[in-house]
Amino acid sequence: MTPNTTLRVSGKTRVHYTTKLLTLASTIWFGITTIGLWLFGSYILFFYGKATLTGDFDRWNNVLPHGYVIGDWQGNLVVGIHVLLAAILVIGGPLQFIPFVRQYAPRFHRWLGRLYIVTAIVVSTAGLIMVWTRGAVGDTFQHICISIQAVYCIIFALMSFRYAKARQFNKHKVWSLRLYMVTNGVWFFRVELMFWLLINGGPAGFNPKTFTGPFLTSLALFTYAIPVSLLLLELYFYARQKQNVSLSLFVFTLIILVTVLLALGIVGATMGMWLPRLAD
Ligand code: HEM
């Protein structure tokens, strides 16, 4: 074996190793977030779905300060569309990235993909209407941040659709993953907030009555306006492309740490928010 072949062999081994490492981290991240998203989706179906089907719209107000307003049927319709269609995003989203589904049910993937894209645009637009006509918890800064997120959702949805239609599937996958990161922004916000409450043993850095304060300002900024989830995804793409051992190890560690944080947040959100609301 010449020195050159040895280099090539060790180069190949390294490429293989870095890709495997990144795939392992992203698979663990995907598994944990899928569990958390489906728990959130189940809460949406059981809480809002049940209240809506039984005509018990008042129940929305157990959670939403600006949920059901007597006499304002248009506003109520927008809220209903927003919260109910949200279930399609949080339940359907992970299904789109499961290789088995894509491979063995390509028609289902295409059908759900179209539905997901339309729903992302509708839910984001409804969210914008809710924030700027009815108001929402938090301050104007938080409202601006979540509105920026709505714009990301709409643009990324259109980009994902554009590349699927053009049959440029690599670009379609990249834009779909970006879309996934931003449509799940509201879920990240809740789970990260619950992680924060868990490690601090209660509210810290914000006023729970007004839902304002430096912690929530930062959380809104880095979840919605400058989404860290999106930055992490871009870093992951970059590491996959570079195939550098140190960079891959760094990104691997970062993804695993984020996953641990999310896992704790999911436990906090399920036990502290979603389950108690179902029992109310
Ligand atoms: C695209 C993904 C989104 C999903 C899956 C989603 C989901 C939800 C859900 C489930 C609720 C009910 C809250 C709860 O029971 O905990 C809700 C409420 C709400 N969402 Fe969204 N949402 C999304 C995006 C947005 C966006 C982009 C905006 C604003 C631009 C927005 C604005 C609101 C508002 C104002 C409320 C009512 C909360 C309040 O009254 O303070 N949502 N959303």
Chunked into runs of 10 residues, the chain (280 residues) has average pLDDT values of 40 71 97 98 97 94 92 96 98 97 95 98 98 95 98 98 96 98 98 98 97 98 98 97 94 98 98 92
How high is the pLDDT of residue 279?
Answer: 85
User: 183 to each of 121, 154, 174, 190, how far by Cα in Å?
Assistant: 10, 9, 14, 13
The residue whose CA is least distant from atom 2 of ligand 1 is 183
Q: Please, which residues have CB within 8 angstroms of residue 249's CB and are 6 or more apart in sequence?
A: 21
- Look up the domain containing 50 and give its range: 19-279
User: Does some domain include residue 204?
Assistant: yes
Query: Number of folded domains in the chain?
Result: 1
User: Does some domain include residue 210?
Assistant: yes
Own/partner pairs for 128-131, CB < 8 Å, 24+ apart? 129/78, 130/66, 130/75, 130/78, 130/79, 130/82
Asked if residues 156 and 179 have their Cβ atoms less than 8 Å apart, the reply is yes
User: 128 to each of 17, 80, 142, 229, how far by Cα in Å?
Assistant: 44, 14, 12, 21
How high is the pLDDT of residue 15?
Answer: 60
To test the pocket of ligand 1, the residue of 62, 121, 186 to mutate (highest count of ligand atoms within 8 Å of its CB) is 186
User: Does some domain include residue 1?
Assistant: no
Q: Which atom of ligand 1 is nearest to the CA of 65?
A: 40
How high is the pLDDT of residue 16?
Answer: 78
Task: Tell me the pTM.
Answer: 0.93
How high is the pLDDT of residue 150?
Answer: 98
User: Does some domain include residue 260?
Assistant: yes
How high is the pLDDT of residue 76?
Answer: 96
How high is the pLDDT of residue 17?
Answer: 84
How high is the pLDDT of residue 4?
Answer: 36
User: Does some domain include residue 74?
Assistant: yes
Q: Which atom of ligand 1 is nearest to the CA of 135?
A: 35
- Does an H or E element contain 113, and which? helix 106-129
